[in-house]
Structure 1
Amino acid sequence: MENVSFTKMTAEVVTPICSGIECHKDAKKLQCPKCLNQGLHSYFCGQECFKRSWPIHKQLHIPPQAKKNEDGTYDPFPNFSYTGSLRAVYPLSPMRKIPEHIQKPDYAVTGTSPSEQLEARSFKIKRLNPQEIESMRTVCRLGREVLDAAAAAVRPGVTTDELDAIVHQACIERECYPSPLNYYHFPKSVCTSVNEIICHGIPDKRPLQDGDIVNLDVSVFHKGFHADLNETYYVGDKAKANPKLVCLVETTREALNAAIAAVKPGMLFKDIGNIIEKYAKSVKSHELSVIRTYCGHGVNQLFHCAPTIPHYAKNRCPGVMRPGMTFTIEPMLSLGSARDVSWPDDWTAATLSGDASAQFEHTLLVTEDGCEVLTARLPTSPGGPAPKK
């Protein structure tokens, strides 16, 4: 197990730094009793900080029923009925710190967002003014740079935790806060969803394997605004040589592009799902299903807000697109059934069938005559389409 504390050196003494969430204070003698029993070292500045940090900190503990591998890793959910071949590989690395000078969203310390909870009482869809639109352009460009930095490192043998470290550092270099970090107690800076994982996969110590697909879902917060985007990438040559995976990934990519092409003022949000499901069902070589549990959403000063945008047909999503609105479209398709199941970590969503799933996402701005893809790929962006076979 890695040491869960950070220390700072002085000329005379090594002072522990508090292991609390977004706490940079000097620690006192208070230690986690569970860590003490397991021979680990974590120090906190006080009881309140310890209680606030518990939802994240407890994930560093080794369950009593877990069996350690030779390299010290273990499955934290040995009694869980996984639906596919993927397993969680713990221990998680400690929650990464953000420098104090970087502006943070309201949930960075507590794990909950009062502003989002207040906004959830209203169905009003915000329209941004020109200054706010420029702020969204800036943060979305930074989000694209962060995603590209992580995507460039995707290869067999790299762990998703290493990708998380790349995302975290890329955010700091751009004066950004990684939006997923401690968002309702999510412990990492990016979501990494491999193979049968639909979304919200937690980066861990499992190395990527030749033949995998991995979705990197990057969100960043910069000067009061969020950007949200993701792509699915092929790991190694075997993935690109797998016709089923290529069909799944490229159809998902194309379904998103088809939906984006229809975005314009006056369009109903519910029609997005009709376009995506129609495109998915047009593929005759493989049975592809649209995941219904997770949706696109508004994004601006809030990470998630109105509208909610389902990706399946015949939904009842209210609302009409107007210039100045910013939101995501992020379809998730799977090979086989659309049903899903959550892992015991309360975040990771997997296909019930154990079949692979793919996702793509962009943040969009509705303009006077169409839309602007704020998180569009750059000429230098890694990944990109593979030819269907």
Structure 2
Amino acid sequence: MFGRGRVPAKTTDQVLLMRRAGLVVGETLAELADAVRAGLTTADLDAVAEKAIRGRGATPSFLGYHGFPATICVSVNEEIVHGIPGARVLQDGDLVSIDCGAIVEGWHGDAAMTVVVGGDEAARPEDLDLSAATEASMWDGIRALVPGERLFDVGAAVEDSIAESARRLGRPLSIVDGYTGHGIGTEMHQDPNVHNERVREKGPIVTVGTTVAIEPMVTLGTYESHELDDEWTVVTEDGSRASHWENTVAVTEGGLWVLTALDGGRAQLGDRYAPLD
């Protein structure tokens, strides 16, 4: 139904409410980035996140969502997305993707980041390359949001970014098949899907007031994945490591506002950065 239509638009007041939810998510992810260290369990990180979200007067988006049992998703090494926090103990050098969502007055923010336990000095070079390439592709996808243009240009921009990074780095990088970003607003996941790769369809037209979550998931090996017996955790088919980066973005009259970035996207977007007053 969105093939030739327009992406549903939010009002200025609605986008401002989403910014409040987005800031909760961004601040929570910043706390988690500081908290990650060897010896903690993934459940420890979940406790940090729940305290951070509720302490800001918000509600976790993920907890109870289709039965999901935790506040955040924590996916380690070959885990791509939807990892359930639990007893797993983090070790230096682990590549950890953390996905976080929060609700403020019925409006959602959703973002993800990838960090290395122990910092860059503990990381494998290929893992740093993977995370940097995935994050860069997310920003390239965000920049492809232009009023009057097609939403699925985002996927083409992500794919081209990853291909260029793979060539420059001399490393295999694959976009995970079957997973997309999404519309977001009064529900965490709304139509339309936002592809992470080039597709035949052009998709709906981006409008002022469009709000979407852009979230590439990229691996050092195959694009294939499977779900574990817990019916949530998605892992790479070949055991290669994965990275996941995400932000919630609003299209404004003047450009773009990254609702889950603490600086609103100013550092990355330059003259495309256009917050609402």
TM-score (norm 2): 0.89
Q: Given residue 185 of structure 1, which amino acid in structure 2 is its aligned partner?
A: G
Q: Cα offset for 1:210?
A: 0.6
Secondary structure of the structure 1 residue equivalent to 2:70: coil
Q: Cα offset for 1:377?
A: 3.8
Identify the match of residue 79 of structure 2 among 162, 186, 197: 197
Match of residue 4 from structure 1:
none
State how far apart, in whole Å, the 2-side matches of 1:219 and 1:262 are.
Answer: 23
Paired-residue identity, %: 34
Q: Cα offset for 1:316?
A: 2.6
State how far apart, in whole Å, the 1-side matches of 2:184 and 2:200 are.
Answer: 21
Tell me if 1:313 matches 2:195: no
Cα deviation code 1:342-374 (max 9, x no counterpart): 001111000001000001100000112421111
Asked if structure 1 preserves the Cα contact closer than 8 Å seen for 2:27 and 2:262, the reply is no
| Structure 1 runs not aligned, ≥5 long | 1-119, 380-389
Asked if structure 1 preserves the Cα contact closer than 8 Å seen for 2:6 and 2:207, the reply is no
Which sits farther off after the overlay, 189-198 or 306-315? 306-315
Cα deviation code 1:192-226 (max 9, x no counterpart): 01111110000011111111110110100111101
Match of residue 225 from structure 2:
340
State how far apart, in whole Å, the 2-side matches of 1:240 and 1:280 are.
Answer: 24
RMSD between aligned residues:
1.9
Asked if structure 2 preserves the Cα contact closer than 8 Å seen for 1:264 and 1:368, the reply is no
State how far apart, in whole Å, the 2-side matches of 1:352 and 1:263 are.
Answer: 32
Tell me if 1:243 matches 2:117: no
Secondary structure of the structure 1 residue equivalent to 2:129: helix
Q: Cα offset for 1:170?
A: 1.1
Q: Compared with structure 1, are the counterparts of its residues 232 and 128 closer, same or farther at alpha carbon in structure 2 (3 Å cutoff)? A: same
- What is the number of residues matched between the two proteins? 259
Superposition map of 1:271-286 within 5 A: 271-282=153-164, 283-284=166-167, 285-286=170-171
Secondary structure of the structure 2 residue equivalent to 1:152: helix
Identify the match of residue 257 of structure 2 among 360, 372, 375: 372
Tell me if 1:322 matches 2:207: yes
Secondary structure of the structure 1 residue equivalent to 2:35: coil
Asked if structure 1 preserves the Cα contact closer than 8 Å seen for 2:249 and 2:260, the reply is yes
Tell me if 1:165 matches 2:47: yes
Superposition map of 1:1-389 within 5 A: 125-237=7-119, 240-282=122-164, 283-284=166-167, 285-316=170-201, 318-378=203-263
State how far apart, in whole Å, the 1-side matches of 2:237 and 2:200 are.
Answer: 22
State how far apart, in whole Å, the 2-side matches of 1:239 and 1:340 are.
Answer: 29
| Structure 2 runs not aligned, ≥5 long | 265-277
Q: Compared with structure 1, are the counterparts of its residues 224 and 214 closer, same or farther at alpha carbon in structure 2 (3 Å cutoff)? A: same
Asked if structure 2 preserves the Cα contact closer than 8 Å seen for 1:150 and 1:163, the reply is yes
Q: Cα offset for 1:125?
A: 3.5
Cα deviation code 1:279-318 (max 9, x no counterpart): 1112221010011211100111111101101101235362
Q: Compared with structure 1, are the counterparts of its residues 238 and 139 closer, same or farther at alpha carbon in structure 2 (3 Å cutoff)? A: closer
Secondary structure of the structure 2 residue equivalent to 1:169: helix
Runs of 4+ in 1 over 6 A off after TM superposition: none
State how far apart, in whole Å, the 1-side matches of 2:73 and 2:205 are.
Answer: 30
Q: Given residue 173 of structure 1, which amino acid in structure 2 is its aligned partner?
A: G
State how far apart, in whole Å, the 2-side matches of 1:291 and 1:369 are.
Answer: 33
Asked if structure 2 preserves the Cα contact closer than 8 Å seen for 1:197 and 1:351, the reply is yes
